[in-house]
Amino acid sequence: MSRKTKKARRSKTAATKTNREPKLCACGCGAKTSGSDFRMGHDQRLRGLIKRGETLKPESVAFLATRKSDPHYAAPKKVAV
């Protein structure tokens, strides 16, 4: 029973890593991430931009469009950059 659980967990992790490709940080700083939406800490940067009503970069707008149902457009905390 425990063996089965272990195996399932491992394959899920592997799939998550291999599916990730570098992309532009969603805060609009122009830096590339290692597959997550933001560089480390840049989710806070984007929240600050929104809070201050600053003009958002296209990548930020695109990111927010995918998080419409999430009031905090919460950063994926489990993802290490």
Residues of the shown chain interacting with Zn ion in the complex, contacts defined by CB under 5 A: 25, 27, 29, 39, 42
Q: How far is the CB of 11 from Zn ion (least distance, A)?
A: 31
Nearer to Zn ion, 15 or 31 (CB): 31
Nearer to Zn ion, 29 or 50 (CB): 29
Q: How far is the CB of 33 from Zn ion (least distance, A)?
A: 8
**Taking phi first (over 0 means left), then psi (-120 to 50 degrees means alpha), and beta for anything else, what does residue 11 get?**
alpha
Taking each helix axis from N to C end, the angle separating 42-51 and 58-65, rounded to the nearest 10 degrees, works out to 90
Contacts of 4 (CB under 8 A, 6+ apart): none
Q: How far is the CB of 81 from Zn ion (least distance, A)?
A: 10
